[in-house]
Amino acid sequence: MTWNWQDPDWPNFRWAAERISAYELEFAQKAGVLIGSSRHLVSADRSQLVVDLMSRSALDSSEIEGEILDRDSVQASVRRQLGLQADHKRVGAAEEGIATLMVDLFETLGEPLDHAKLFHWHLLVMAGDTDLQVVGGYRVHEEPMQIVSGPDYRRKVHFEAPPSAGVRAEMDRFLRWFADSAPSGPNPLTPIARAGIAHLWFETIHPFEDGNGRLGRVIAEKALSQGRDRAMLTGISSTFMQNRSRYYTELEAASRGLDIDKWLAWFAQMTLAAQDQTVAWVSFLIGKAQLMSSLQGLINTRQEKVLIRLFRAGPQGFIGGLSAENYRTISGATSATATRDLADLVERGALRRTGERKGTRYWLTLT
């Protein structure tokens, strides 16, 4: 099996820029819409948007690798590090590490990428892991770095990375390219092409013993976010998570050669899907502010508490909708009171009702 890094022309990736030009244009247009729309958010909602994007990226990127983290702990850590009010709960090392990584990414989006930054990020992403030979440095082991699946007697090698002895030189070359291809560099690339190449190139080198996937997605996020007037994460880890099997398949296929048109087209689609999710969040937060403003002084504390809890669930709302039982649990209301409160919220246009009897559910109504 020949891998891309074994090609004599490595790392001269080949792609036709015109094949993703429409994606690049749409990406730039949506980025402008996001930045413009976010200016209409009140300060608290802008902060909530940033917290949500960082938290979702952290959680989804970790889940891609099979690590399930506590959502509330990640959000609390992000909020604390941003100087926002947060629950005073104990946060595990893994949650604290990935949250710190996302905050550092956000606060240094425009800064160059170098070995020291990558080593720092590796320390964060591997927080609490004591099984590695090297943490905060590139791998040095002599055995092949392989991505495999299946039992030992029928093991399938999906990819083999360059030997450890050459990792430092490979990363020197990668980091020079990343700087040269930046918006302010001598050979700037369009955001999607640059991010897609950066992610594939970094994953090919696979410079660390573990954590390469999470760091590779952070690098892609950095590439997508650079060159804008206002910092805004794309949240591409979430669309990768939603398409995890395809993500691995596309990466494996792209690692077998230097022609990457197919990889960049798929990467572009995931990027635009991530932007759509962020646009939905911004619209949701704007609708939330408008709804709560229109209801000010018209609803009781029970109703307000339930609406706030619904808002916390995000644009998708409660899975299956809000039931009368949910309402009673959240508000502490009796059955009769819950019925009156819900009917009042429907009448005021805050909720819409679907179904009948035990199948009755309530949904937020946002303009």
**Tens place of pLDDT for every residue, the chain, 367 residues?**
589 999 999 999 999 999 999 999 999 999 988 888 888 788 888 888 889 899 999 999 999 999 999 998 999 999 999 999 877 778 999 999 999 999 999 999 999 999 999 999 999 999 977 789 999 999 999 999 999 888 877 888 999 999 999 999 999 999 999 999 999 999 999 999 999 999 999 999 999 999 999 999 999 999 999 977 677 789 999 999 999 999 999 999 999 999 999 999 999 999 999 999 998 888 888 889 899 999 999 999 999 999 999 998 888 788 899 999 999 999 999 999 999 999 999 999 999 999 999 999 999 998 6
Q: State the Cα–Cα distance between residues 196 and 268, nearest whole angstrom.
A: 8
Considering its fold, how many domains does the chain have in total? 2
Q: State the Cα–Cα distance between residues 225 and 351, nearest whole angstrom.
A: 36
Whether 290 is covered by a domain: the verdict is no
Query: Are 332 and 194 found together in one domain?
Result: no
Q: Look at residue 251 and give its three-state secondary structure.
A: helix
Which of 250, 280, 310 is the C-terminal boundary of a domain? 280
Supply the CATH number for residue 16's domain.
1.10.3290.10
Query: Are 235 and 197 found together in one domain?
Result: yes
Q: State the Cα–Cα distance between residues 365 and 347, nearest whole angstrom.
A: 11
Residue span of the structural domain in which 302 resides: 297-364
Phi-psi region of 137 (alpha: psi -120 to 50; beta: other; left: phi over 0): beta
Which of 234, 253, 280 is the C-terminal boundary of a domain? 280
Specify whether the CB–CB gap between 259 and 15 falls below 8 A.
yes
Whether 287 is covered by a domain: the verdict is no
Kindly report the pTM of this predicted structure.
0.90
The pLDDT value recorded for residue 212 is 97
Supply the CATH number for residue 308's domain.
1.10.10.10
